[in-house]
Structure 1
């Protein structure tokens, strides 16, 4: 008597990785479909960094000088791009907290999907939105006379470093959204984002600040990415004698790596421990 052998389901690492990627992409399309239903919020997100550039570049920039006589608006565009990546923390945090508060995250957890798919889906969708913000601000800069001067490869590397910073910052947003679980409480966290973004070299030279404050500004991850972008774009910057000012590209690569290494596993772990 012969016995029919049932095929053993594939549960190896390649199988799990493939389905984790598939689940994450499904949730990414869910997030991006919301943009079509809420175009006003998307438009505000794209116009926000442009407003900052125009306000500081044309209303205040006339009284700010750049070392070496460079154009302040050329120094401002890379800084505004880096600041925009920092402000993305708020978007990620609010969306993640809203899903958790409404029970959407709990419904996802009850489904047979990868534990990392929800946070990875949110991260990927927010990264796409940040890329659109970069494109919008770059186009605004080109229309107002800004340009890069060191060739296409350097320009692309600058954009990669900017998105690399955003990738790191969104994991802070995911973790905070899972911890706070309330869209009302996110306002208190948002208040802290602005000082961290402005305590940088985005709008002014750290050397013009008190020594202790200037040191904090130079070692700010936003400052590192802004300085690296200026260097790679060939735009004027503030300079400085510190190690951070002399090695901005290296620091812009290291800071997001450290942040991601800390907050990505914290986010996945926090997601797995929800409702415990």
Structure 2
């Protein structure tokens, strides 16, 4: 009796070259469907208008509402980056169901090449979305009141956070093969994002909720962005360690996400059939 053995294809194409092909393919998809970027920006833009202008006066209290909008915008930038997680997961899942992923697996390329190319492409589209939202922030009165070095570091932080979430999205999109189940995770992800300091400080939250929110990586990146952009919102002395040292904690969270998501996503990508 003979047994058919289907070994993994031996990579004969450089991982960088293969990743570049996947990157260009994903960018081309967004270029031919610009509405995808508009949909990505629709929800954050609506929240800027809602919280910045409808609820802004009440949330600002006795302060100038424009001060609250300056406080709000860094949180919205992180919101744009975080909401890209679901779109990345959907893209990876769609490739899985269309058979494209299986065709890539049959090629003699490194199994890390395809998810790497997809993660880089999703990061680039996320940066474009962030740039557009920053332009909107400028129109509503947000300004960067910080040294140029801090501004550059804030931009690097936002890009790195989007890249880490791209890998996490790929992991979810490949690990959760059922498309309907993946769609059901979107509200849960949005709820986790909202369980943070994006719109309001954590000081007024109940103790348990405050603790969870202050350790939420979204809250930490938001706090770091506000500090680096000079948008206010300095944490009190009784805040959790991540909010008292937001920049270090934010890069720590990003490193942890990449450390966990990258190897698991690559392994899941190569294991699924």
Change (3 A) 1:154 1:18: farther
Q: How many pairs were matched up? A: 260
**3-state secondary structure, aligned to 1:71:** helix
Q: What's the counterpart of residue 213 of structure 1? A: 209
Pick the aligned partner of 1:245 from 223, 238, 243: 243
Write out per-residue CA displacement over residues 51-104 of structure 1, whole angstroms, 9 at most, x where no aligned residue: 221221111111113898781101100011111111111011001001001111
Give the distance between the partners of 1:135 and 1:48, measured in 2 at CA. 16
Normalising by structure 2, we get a TM-score of 0.90
Matches within 5 A, 1:76-225: 76-225=72-221
1:121-150, CA deviations, whole angstroms, 9 ceiling, x for partnerless residues?
A: 110110001101110111111111110111
Offset from partner CA, 1:161-215 (integer Å, 9 cap, x none): 1111111112211111111123322111101111110000101111111001001
2:42 is the counterpart of 1:44: no
SS of the equivalent of 2:257 reads helix
Aligned to 2:257: 259
Q: How many Å separate the matches in 1 of 2:174 and 2:195?
A: 26
The verdict on how the C-alpha distance between 1:81 and 1:123 changes in structure 2, with shifts beyond 3 A counting, is same
Contact 1:175 1:267 in 2 (8 A): yes
TM-score w.r.t. length of structure 1: 0.89
2: CA distance, partners of 1:175 / 1:17: 25
Q: 2: distance between equivalents of 1:255 and 1:104?
A: 32
Q: What aligned pairs does 1:62-77 form with structure 2 within 5 A after superposition?
A: 62-65=57-60, 71-77=67-73
Distance 2:95 2:170 in 1: 11
| Cα distance between partner residues in 2 of 1:21 and 1:179 | 24
1:35 corresponds in structure 2 to: 30
Which protein shows a greater Rg? 1
CA contact (8 A) 1:228 1:252 kept: yes
CA distance in 1, matches of 2:187, 2:233: 28
Two-structure CA RMSD over aligned residues (Å): 1.9
Q: Unaligned regions of 5+ residues in structure 2, if any?
A: 1-10
Moved more, 259-268 or 52-61: 52-61
Q: Does residue 231 of structure 2 align to residue 235 of structure 1?
A: yes
